[in-house]
Amino acid sequence: MKTVTIIGSGQMGSALAFPLRENGNEVRLVGTHLDREIIDACRATNRHPKFKYDFPEGVRFFQVDDVDEAIDGADFVICGVSSFGVEWFGTEIMPRIPEETPILSVTKGLQNLEDGTLITYPEVWRRMLAERGLKRNLNAIGGPCTSYELVFHDQTQVSFCGEDMDTLRMMRETMRTSYYHISITTDVVGVESAVALKNAYAFGVALTIGLNQREHGIDSELHFNSQAAVFGQATREMAKSLAIQGAPDLDNLCVGVGDLYVTVYGGRTRLIGTLLGRGLSIDEALEQLQGVTLESLVVSRRVAEAFRMKAAAGEIDIDEFPLLCHIDDIISNGAEVDIPWERFTYEG
């Protein structure tokens, strides 16, 4: 039995309490400063407000004020914050975690540097820690996994990535179940980049859903040719992106492609893409979502900006990314949805 502390009681962080506790581990779920009401509800009902199932018996709930108590004695710590909490976790939480305690992150995204280089969030944290003379054993989870289906025990295949295989094996042994299946790899760049990119490209696929509804009516049946065409172009551009970033094993593209599939079929990214495809402006679509934060918009802008900088420096051909560029044009410049279908064709 291990002791595992999850920091961030959003849906995904909280969902991981299920396989962990069902394996007999001690599980401590800590809310961030934004999660006080969630933790109060979990304590009162033993259920996350967004879930339809109770937590396994024995999960312990902590407010952020008691984070040091929750971390004490943990075999590893899971970062369950969204991409908007990356800096908070790096500055406020990581220095509290003992150097010998590994960290496993579910946070998805990429950060672009001034020269157009894209780095993963584990690398962002590594650099933040280095500025303070600190280092930690950083690992991450990637793959197609929605929180509510994990709670439901739907069959789920993910990948844990990090620098040390022994650490990854320990985490896998602690967390894998009959429904939660875990691959392990040292290809952090490949896994983390692929699952971040899928947010941008799922948005692109969802545009076709809205376009179909604009032409045939909101209640019309779904048309899949157009979705599949954009999905195919998305996987092509994701593969090129991983090569640019120096991912050592393009086999891990499958982790992002699977995640792309599940993201297209549900959630906020599908909704905003559909709204824009129907003809709403980006501001109108965001207003309908009532301030909900969207990681897909952030990663789309960052990757497009990075690749345009690389193209200006003569390092890449930006014409190889017509879908990404169109997505960014919609988000950043308010362009109308006009998917460049012919630019997806090729000779070879």
Give 97-129 pLDDT, tens digit per residue.
999 999 999 999 999 998 999 999 999 999 999
d(CA 10, CA 273): 23
Tell me what pLDDT residue 113 has.
Answer: 93
pLDDT digits (tens, 9 = 90+) for 299-340: 999 999 999 999 999 999 999 999 999 999 999 999 999 999
Residue 301 token pair:
């802008």
pLDDT of residue 293: 63
What percent of the residues of the chain are helix, what percent strand, and what percent coil, each to the nearest 5?
Answer: 55, 15, 35
Whether 200 contacts 303, CB under 8 Å: yes
Given this model, what pLDDT does residue 292 score? 66
Residues 6+ apart with CB under 8 A from 336: 330
Parallel, antiparallel or unpaired: strands 26-30 and 138-142: unpaired
Residue showing tokens 């779904």: 222
Name, in order, each residue with C-beta under 8 angstroms of 212's C-beta and a sequence gap of 6 or more.
Answer: 220, 222, 223, 226, 277
Q: Contacts for 113-116 with beta carbons within 8 Å, 24 or more apart?
A: 113/306, 115/309, 116/305, 116/306, 116/307, 116/308, 116/309, 116/310, 116/313, 116/315
Cβ contact 60:39 at 8 Å: no
Per-residue pLDDT, 245:
93
Residue 237 and residue 323 in contact, taking contact as beta carbons nearer than 8 Å? yes
Instruction: Quote the pLDDT of residue 291.
Output: 58
Which residue(s) pair with 156 in the sheet? 180
The per-residue pLDDT for 207 is 97
- Which residues lie below 8 Å from residue 321, measured CB to CB, with a gap of 6+? 237, 240, 241, 304, 307
Alpha-carbon span 272 to 245, nearest angstrom: 28
Q: Is 332 left (phi over 0), alpha (psi -120 to 50) or beta?
A: alpha
Beta bridge partner(s), residue 159: 142, 183
Whether 94 and 134 have beta carbons less than 8 Å apart is answered as yes
pLDDT per position in the chain (348 positions), as tens? 999 999 999 999 999 999 999 999 999 999 999 999 999 999 999 999 999 999 999 999 999 999 999 999 999 999 999 999 999 999 999 999 999 999 999 999 999 998 999 999 999 999 999 999 999 999 999 999 999 999 999 999 999 999 999 999 999 999 999 999 999 999 999 999 999 999 999 999 999 999 999 999 998 888 899 999 999 999 999 999 999 999 987 888 999 999 999 999 878 899 999 999 999 998 898 888 875 668 889 999 999 999 999 999 999 999 999 999 999 999 999 999 999 999 999 998
CA 301, CA 83: separation in Å to the nearest integer?
14
pLDDT value at position 222?
85
**What is residue 267's predicted lDDT score, i.e. its pLDDT?**
80
